[in-house]
Each structure stands twice: as C-alpha cells, then as structure tokens.
C-alpha cells in the first residue's frame, strides 16, 4: 500500500474518530507518531517535517521528536538545521525527562549522531 501525503491526514482523522478523541486531546506524541509513520512509509520529507513541527507546538515534546526532526533535516540536506535540532536536546533538560527519559546508550547515540552531523557540516565546534 502506498500512502500519499493527504492520506496521513485521513489516517489521523480516522484514528481520532475511532478513539473518540477531540482535537484538543491530540498531544505531541500523537503528531510525533504520525510523523514517524509518515517517514517510515516514505511520504515526502516536507510533509513529515510538518507533522513533527505540529508535535513541537504541543506540550510534552519528547527528545525523540527532536531527534527524528533532526534526521528529516539531515535527509533534506539541511545539515546545520539537523545539528541545531540535536543541540536542543542537550540544551533543554525538559526534553530529556518526561515519560520517556534518555538512557545512557541513547544519550551516547545522540552524541555520536550530533558529532557525525557537525563533522559533515564542517562545524566541529558544534560537535
């Protein structure tokens, strides 16, 4: 099955109706997971980025949302934006807490990812 960008909105609406959720009940995690699904099925990166940005507008944004958006920036050849997005995780302790705290292994992986992106952007000081 091939999904088009407008299908993600249809999927979201269908799930929302089936779960009986009101618009104001849709939190950051809702849009983050839609963006993850969009990315996984190969929907246009711009559309996927829009879903991650909607997640960032909500409260309770996870560090995973920032990481995933950084990956989308990287895949869109916007490496400096990817570096900046990853740096948010390290600068804002609120992104590291919540229901899904960063494990030591995940933190190490984030440092490696930031180092890779910073190196590729020739911004070694950003690493």
3-state SS of 95-110 is HHCCCCCCCHHHHHHH
Same domain, 113 and 96: yes
Residues 6+ apart with CB under 8 A from 57: none
**3-class state of residue 21 by DSSP:** coil
> Predicted confidence band at 1 (pLDDT cuts at 50, 70, 90)?
very low
Measured from the Cβ of residue 114, the count of other Cβ atoms closer than 10 Å reads 21
Residues 102 and 96: their CA atoms lie apart, in Å, by 6
pLDDT at residue 2 tops 60: no
Looking at 4-18, 59-73, 86-100, 109-123, which range is the least confident one?
86-100
Residues of the domain holding 19: 1-58
Which residue do the tokens 């799930």 mark? 15
Same domain, 110 and 127: yes
Same domain, 92 and 51: no
**Token pair belonging to 122:** 């020739």
Mean of pLDDT values over 49-55: 94
**Token pair belonging to 106:** 């995940």
pLDDT at residue 56 tops 70: yes
> Predicted confidence band at 44 (pLDDT cuts at 50, 70, 90)?
confident
Mean pLDDT (the chain) is 86
Same domain, 93 and 41: no
Domain-ending residue, one of 58, 79, 100: 58
């Amino acid at each position: 099955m091939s999904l088009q960008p407008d299908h993600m909105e249809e999927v979201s609406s269908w799930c929302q109706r089936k779960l009986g959720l009101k618009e104001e009940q849709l939190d950051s995690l809702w849009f983050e997971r839609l963006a993850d699904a969009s990315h996984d099925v190969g929907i246009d990166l711009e559309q996927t980025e829009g879903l991650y940005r909607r997640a960032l507008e909500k409260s309770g944004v996870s560090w995973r949302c920032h990481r995933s958006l950084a990956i989308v920036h990287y895949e869109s050849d916007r490496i400096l934006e990817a570096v900046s997005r990853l740096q948010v995780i390290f600068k804002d302790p609120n992104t590291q807490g919540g229901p899904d705290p960063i494990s030591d292994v995940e933190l190490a992986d984030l440092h490696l990812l930031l180092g890779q992106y910073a190196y590729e952007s020739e911004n070694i000081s950003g690493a």
